[in-house]
Amino acid sequence: MNIKELLLNGQSFSKLLNQFSIEADDVKIQDEDVLLADHKLEHKEIVKESICIEGKNKDGIINFFGTLHYNLLNKLAVFEMHGFEQIAKPQVC
């Protein structure tokens, strides 16, 4: 199970995406494969990592910055947002 799926199991992350009109398929967790490949963290109870989550909607790209709290043993994850930036789509002439 990947981190995005774990986050979508909770209501608060889904509400955050809805607030910005972002579909779950349009979300990418930057460096997710690096986080999951760190074998030193496999047996820790809870891991905290600073991450950026990129989402796309009709207006452009939104980057969410914050802390990911996750426990892969219990299949739980929570995203604590600290801020975001919106990058508008370039205008086509």
pLDDT digits (tens, 9 = 90+) for 28-40: 998 888 777 765 6
- The answer to whether the CB of 17 falls within 8 A of the CB of 26 is no
Task: For the chain, give every domain's residue range.
Answer: 3-88
Q: Indicate the pLDDT class of residue 92, thresholds 50, 70 and 90.
A: low
Closest CA to 69 of 53, 45, 47, 51: 47
Question: 51-83 pLDDT, tens per residue?
Answer: 999 999 998 999 999 999 988 778 889 999 999
Q: What is the DSSP letter of 39?
A: G
